[in-house]
């Protein structure tokens, strides 16, 4: 597995592993033993970058990641996130109409102490603010993380779904190592302002949902049904009509993949990796064969003609359906 360097000299595998779906969002939690084995297999395959968050579960995903990676702690980089109000009765996703975010300094400290315990670590390698809190100045957030770094409890500061101006303000207080936001061939919003800003400031970029929550693998069709509790049942982009309209994007990936002897998912990831040398996608999976497929994408090099064809085709396709319901979209890009 090749490695890449995010901001502030943090070296990680070129493709990481998003762990959320193992216990949260896509239906009932997967078998715990199988997921522990999956993460340890990922390490054997050269994956060193693992992503979780306090809110996933909440808490149970961090506990799973902590147990799985404890024996290989010296070989991995673990990223987690703070920033939601997890007190009883609050909805961490804001679906009830309340934003649910909480980045007050005291909540950041509380979250970090809990994450350290659940992850079974002495220091958090990369700590993201999960969503920007409009009620707490970003300078206060960055200052609190700066203090935690000084205390040896955190190594690197990250931000998730923050816009370029907010990242710039935070970076002036505590250098930001990475920004995590959704980015793929069917969600290219970061290209407008965020990526140029990160390039200027020397900050790495970590795309989540780099395979469009599974759509860009080619395994999801208009006839696919999602199980009870699967988050995709609520997403406008995953209606049967939207999936049918968006199939043209998968067809492009499949065509290029046939020429390159690669799966559509590998082409989608290789395209992302080619956009900047400091981009590190974190596709999630609960299946070993998908993990191996995604990891192998780091070694797939698409020539300039293939990359141009993919980009031109994506430019010509208007993706149908919003990525989130309105209540969730309010939590992004603040």
Tokens of 88: 């009883």
Catalytic residue among 56, 128, 183, 208: 56
The phi and psi torsions of 129 (rounded to 5 degrees) equal: -80, 120
Q: What is the pLDDT of residues 276-285, one digit of tens each?
A: 999 999 999 9
Residue 264 counted as domain residue: yes
Report the Cα 242 to chain-centroid distance in Å: 23
Q: What is the pLDDT of residues 210-248, one digit of tens each?
A: 999 999 999 998 889 998 888 899 898 999 999 998 999
Burial string for 219-243 (b: 16+ CB within 10 Å, else e) reads: ebeeeeebeeebbbeebebbeeebb
Please state, in angstroms and rounded to a whole number, the distance separating the CA atoms of residues 288 and 279. Answer: 23
Please state, in angstroms and rounded to a whole number, the distance separating the CA atoms of residues 252 and 185. Answer: 11
In the chain, how many domains are there? 1
Q: What is the pLDDT of residues 302-323, one digit of tens each?
A: 999 999 999 999 999 888 888 8
**190 pLDDT band (50/70/90 cuts)?**
very high
Please state, in angstroms and rounded to a whole number, the distance separating the CA atoms of residues 206 and 193. Answer: 15
Residue 311 counted as domain residue: yes
Average pLDDT, the chain: 93
Whether the per-residue pLDDT at 96 is higher than 50: the answer is no
Average pLDDT over residues 276-297: 97
Residue 66 counted as domain residue: yes
The phi and psi torsions of 102 (rounded to 5 degrees) equal: -160, 100
Tokens of 263: 């799966």
Residue 334 counted as domain residue: no
Q: Which residue has the tokens 């979780």?
A: 52
Residue 277 counted as domain residue: yes
Residue 204 counted as domain residue: yes
| Sign (positive or negative) of CA dihedral 91, 108, 191, 260 | negative
Looking at residue 325, its pLDDT comes to 83
> Is 324 a residue of the active site?
no
Domain range spanning residue 302? 3-329
Q: Which residue has the tokens 């890009």?
A: 333
Q: Write the secondary structure of the chain as one string of H (helix), E (strand) and C (coil).
A: CCEEECHHHCEEECCCEECHHHCCCECCCCCHHHHHHHHHHHHHCCCCEEECCCCCCCCHHHHHHHHHHHHHHHHCEEEEEECECCCCCCCCCCCCCCCCECCCHHHHHHHHHHHHHHHCCCCEEEEEECCCCCCCCHHHHHHHHHHHHHCCCEEEEEEECCCHHHHHHHHHHCCEEEEEEECECCECHHHCCHHHHHHHHCCEEEEECCCCCCHHHCCCCCCCCCCCCEHHHHCHHHCHHHHHHHHHHHHHHHHHHHHHCCCHHHHHHHHHHHHCCCECCCCECCCHHHHHHHHHHHHCCCCHHHHHHHHHHHHHCCCCCCCCCHHHHCCCCC
Q: What is the pLDDT of residues 128-184, one digit of tens each?
A: 999 999 999 999 999 999 999 999 999 999 999 999 999 999 999 999 999 999 999
The phi and psi torsions of 306 (rounded to 5 degrees) equal: -65, -45
Share of residues in the chain with pLDDT > 70 (%): 94
Question: For position 165, which CATH number holds?
Answer: 3.20.20.100
């Amino acid at each position: 597995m090749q490695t890449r360097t995010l901001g502030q000299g943090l070296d990680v595998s070129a493709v990481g592993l998003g762990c959320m779906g193992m216990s949260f969002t896509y239906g009932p939690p997967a078998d715990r033993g199988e997921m522990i084995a999956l993460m340890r297999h990922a390490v054997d395959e050269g994956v060193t970058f693992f992503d979780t968050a306090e809110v996933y579960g909440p808490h149970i995903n961090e506990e799973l990641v902590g147990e799985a990676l404890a024996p290989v702690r010296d070989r991995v980089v673990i990223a987690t996130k703070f920033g939601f109000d997890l007190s009883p009765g609050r909805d961490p996703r804001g679906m009830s109409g309340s934003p649910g975010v909480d980045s007050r300094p005291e909540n950041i400290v509380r979250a970090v102490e809990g994450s350290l315990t659940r992850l079974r670590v002495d220091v958090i390698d990369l700590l993201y603010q999960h969503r920007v809190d409009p009620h707490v100045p970003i300078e206060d957030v960055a200052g609190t993380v700066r203090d935690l770094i000084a205390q040896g409890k955190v190594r690197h500061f990250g931000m998730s779904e923050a816009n370029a101006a907010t990242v710039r303000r935070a970076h002036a207080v505590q250098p930001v190592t990475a920004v995590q936001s959704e980015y793929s061939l069917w969600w290219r919003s970061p290209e407008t302002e965020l990526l140029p800003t990160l390039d200027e400031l020397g900050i790495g970029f970590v795309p989540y949902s780099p395979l469009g929550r599974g759509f860009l693998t080619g395994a999801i069709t208009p006839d696919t049904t999602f199980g009870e509790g699967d988050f995709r049942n609520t997403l406008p982009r995953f209606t049967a009509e939207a999936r049918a309209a968006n199939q043209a994007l998968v067809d492009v990936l499949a065509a290029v993949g046939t020429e390159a002897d690669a799966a559509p998912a590998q082409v989608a990831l290789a395209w992302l990796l080619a956009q900047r040398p400091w981009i590190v996608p974190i596709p999630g999976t609960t299946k070993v064969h998908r993990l191996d497929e995604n990891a192998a994408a780091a070694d797939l090099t698409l020539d300039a003609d293939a990359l141009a064809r993919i980009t031109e085709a994506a430019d010509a396709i208007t993706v149908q359906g919003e990525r989130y319901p309105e209540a969730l979209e309010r939590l992004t890009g603040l």
